[in-house]
Every structure is written in C-alpha cells, then in structure tokens.
Amino acid sequence: MLNYSITGSYTDLYEITMGEVYFKERRQDLPAAFEYFFRKLPFGGGCVLFAGLHEFLGVLEDLHFTTDDIAYLRDQGFDQAYLGFLEGFRFRGDVYSVAEGEVIFPGCPVLRVEGTLFETQLVETVLLNLINFQSLIATKASRVRQVAGDRVLSDFGLRRAQGAGAMAASRAAVIGGFNSTSNVAAAKKYDIPASGTMAHSFIESYGSELEAFRAYARSQPSDCIFLVDTYDTLGSGVPNAITVAKEMEAQGAKAIGVRLDSGDLAWLSGSVRRMMDEAGLGYMKIVVSNQLDEWLVRSLLDQDAPIDVFGVGTRLVTGHPDDLPSLRSAQVDGDRPMEKAAAGAEGHGGRQAPAARTFTPGDSRLRP
C-alpha cells in the first residue's frame, strides 16, 4: 500500500539514536540551530531555484510519533523513558527561510532551523528529503524555461518519476516556470492547469488512424491534439489530422494542434508546419515530446523549429544524482559555533543570515 503519511519515524535511524543519547545525557533541550545550503550547484549552473518550503512547514505543523511508531521503536530496543519523551514530541522551533521561487547561490545559508538540539536534529532528514528534490526539479524547470522563452511548457513526467515524488515534481516544475502538468492528481491538489493529448495505444486500438482521430474529435472537440507519429508522420499522420481538422471546421470547431513524439523533431516540425499552413490551418499548434531537456530545447529552437509547446518528462522529474545540498549544524548550547573541517566539507560555524523572512507552519504567505 503506497498511501502513507510523514510522522516522526520518517527519518534516518541515527537521528533517533542520537536523540536517545541527548535524552539520557539531558542535552535534548539545549538550544541549537541547523542551516541548509548548497556547496556546489546542480546541472553545472550558476544558481538554484528554491522550492519545497511549503510542504516542509506542513510536515512540521503536525510532526509527531504515532502509536505505531512508538511500538516499532520499542521493538528495536529503545529505552522506555525515551519513548515516553517521543510520545509527547511536537516541533516548537522556528524556521527562517528565503521564499520559494527565489534564486540562491552556493555557500549561502538558505534556511535555518532553530530550536532544541533534539528537534533540530530530528527534522534534518525530512528537510533534506523534501527540499532537495523540489529545489532540483524547480531548478531544472527554470533552465528549460530560460531557453524556451514564452513557449508553453508542460510537465509530462508522472510515469517516469520516483513513485509519489511525481506530485512534488509537478509542483516544483510550476515554481520553475512550467505552465501545466499531465498529472491529474497534482493538478487537482495544487490548482495547476492539466494538459494532455492521446497515446499511440489509443490510435492502435482503432481500425485506422483516421478512425481514431475522428473518434477523439467527436468526444473532445474543444481539446483536440492529434498524435501524428504512430505509423507514418508525414505520409498518414499529418494528412489524417488535416482531414479531421477540416471536418471539425465544418462543424464550427477547431483542433488545437498535433503532437510529435519521435524522429527528427526539428525537420519534422518544419514539414508539419508547412503542411498545415498550406491547408489553411495556421492556427494549429505543434507540440513535441520525447526525452527533452534544456539542451535539446535550445538545439531545436536554434534550428528555428516552429514548435509551440514542449512536453518535458523524464529529464525533468528524475532530478540529478550529484551536487546535493547539505544541512550543517551551525551552533549549539547558546552561541557556541559548530563547523566541519574535513576537506571538501568545510563549514562556517555560528549564526548566519539566511533570509529576510520568517515562516511558521500554516503561514498564509505560502502558496501550494
């Protein structure tokens, strides 16, 4: 069963074992702070677009250890007195952060969690889990937006994403500049425009491509985009799309466009544009998909490909394996600074200045 909620056990084991040490040593209530920052930037870029704060604060608002959590930890041999402490845990610290959608740079503190030593340590894992991923996706989306100009960008990544992470990916993509998503659940939850076309299997399920296009046009006359590369893009796909689009015009409707999902997208889109223009269908748009990213989008536009909409999936929502940000312990027990000194992991202890805004769970300034 994939339906789960984030509770106190949604963390790395060492956060809980360190917490038990703090509890037994009576250090759990010492004042402490952790800061979130990037040492290196993903995708070889110059900045990161920050995202994920809204969901992190939502988790903090109700973060607690459930009865099942406590039972499991008891079975793992944790001290009963410590388990009693966990049963009463609620996050009561403060979070200082830049706003979602803001540009951030390496080495600069982005988010700061202040509170007790126990609670700031415990939330480290879920903070990194939620904000790392969404910031990576938002950054990738912003890179595609930068090269795409004012063309429409749609998130097509649901089927390629890591499980339920697709929900966060769709949200982060919009923060990064995308216009819509194919993910119906994300569209509903986050009030994002939903968009989509048709699958090759839909066309194959009919006796002919033309029959499939006509059936779709009858059912979806106001949202009709024909997938034209199932069989022969220029030999049958586009001619059949033109035929049905003309039939729709006769009935007072207009097709939105056609979609290309394979082949030489630059050359094909030019040919498709000419064919539709010659048929008097200059209003029909060209949508393309198939392993797109910022590099391929830029290449297509550098070739003057007449593309109106880019559907970006796999290379948007799967993130990036390297150059992930870190959470560093900045201070503990008042003003005593803490920092790493290992090569490649150097830090700057003491209080930094991560943001001009303070956020608390449920803050009305945050938007999903």
pLDDT at 109: 87
Strands (E), the chain: 31-37, 48-49, 94-97, 103-104, 111-116, 152-155, 180-181, 225-227, 257-260, 285-288, 309-312, 326-332, 336-337, 358-359
pLDDT tens, per residue, the chain with 368 residues = 455 689 999 999 999 999 999 999 999 999 999 999 888 888 888 899 999 999 999 999 999 999 999 999 999 999 999 999 999 999 999 999 999 999 999 888 899 999 999 999 999 999 999 999 999 999 999 999 999 999 999 999 999 998 989 999 999 999 999 999 999 999 999 999 999 999 999 999 999 999 999 999 999 999 999 999 999 999 999 999 999 999 999 999 999 999 999 999 999 999 999 999 999 999 999 999 999 999 999 999 999 999 999 999 999 998 754 445 556 666 676 665 655 444 444 555 556 655 444 444 444 333 33
pLDDT at 337: 61
Query: Tokens 């010492």, residue?
Result: 30
Query: Tokens 């939903």, residue?
Result: 194
Which option is the CATH number for 13-136+320-359: 3.40.50.720, 2.70.170.10, 2.40.30.40, 3.20.140.10? Answer: 3.20.140.10
pLDDT at 366: 33
Instruction: Say which DSSP state 8 is in.
Output: T
Beta bridge partners of 312: 155
Q: Quick one: fold of 137-317?
A: TIM Barrel (3.20.20)
Q: Pick from 156, 193, 176: which is nearest to 291 by CA?
A: 156
Give the CA distances from residue 233 to residues 42, 199, 217, 315, in Å, rounded to whole numbers and listed in that order.
Answer: 37, 15, 19, 25
pLDDT at 39: 82
Query: Tokens 């697709």, residue?
Result: 166
Euclidean distance between CA atoms 63 and 218, whole angstroms: 50
Euclidean distance between CA atoms 226 and 212, whole angstroms: 9
Identify the burial level of 298 via C-beta atoms within 10 angstroms of its C-beta, where 0-12 means exposed, 13-18 middle and 19 or more buried.
middle
CA within 13 Å, CB half, 79: 12
In single-letter form, the type of residue at position 343 comes to A
DSSP string, 209-259: HHHHHHHHHHH-TTS-EEE--SS-IIIIIHHHHHHHHHHHHHTT----EEE
Q: How far is CA 335 from the centre of its chain?
A: 36
Reported as type and span, the H/E element at residue 19 is helix 13-24
- Cβ count within 10 A of residue 364: 5
Q: Is 26 left (phi over 0), alpha (psi -120 to 50) or beta?
A: left
pLDDT at 334: 64
Euclidean distance between CA atoms 268 and 259, whole angstroms: 11
The pTM (predicted TM-score) of the whole model is 0.87
Domain boundaries, the chain: 13-136+320-359, 137-317
pLDDT at 212: 98
Which tokens sit at 98? 């830049």
Instruction: Say which DSSP state 98 is in.
Output: P
Dihedral of CA atoms 348, 353, 355, 357 in degrees, nearest 10, equals: 140
pLDDT at 4: 66
242-277: burial string, b at 16+ Cβ within 10 Å, e else: bebbeebeeeeeebbbbbbbeeebbebbbebbebbe
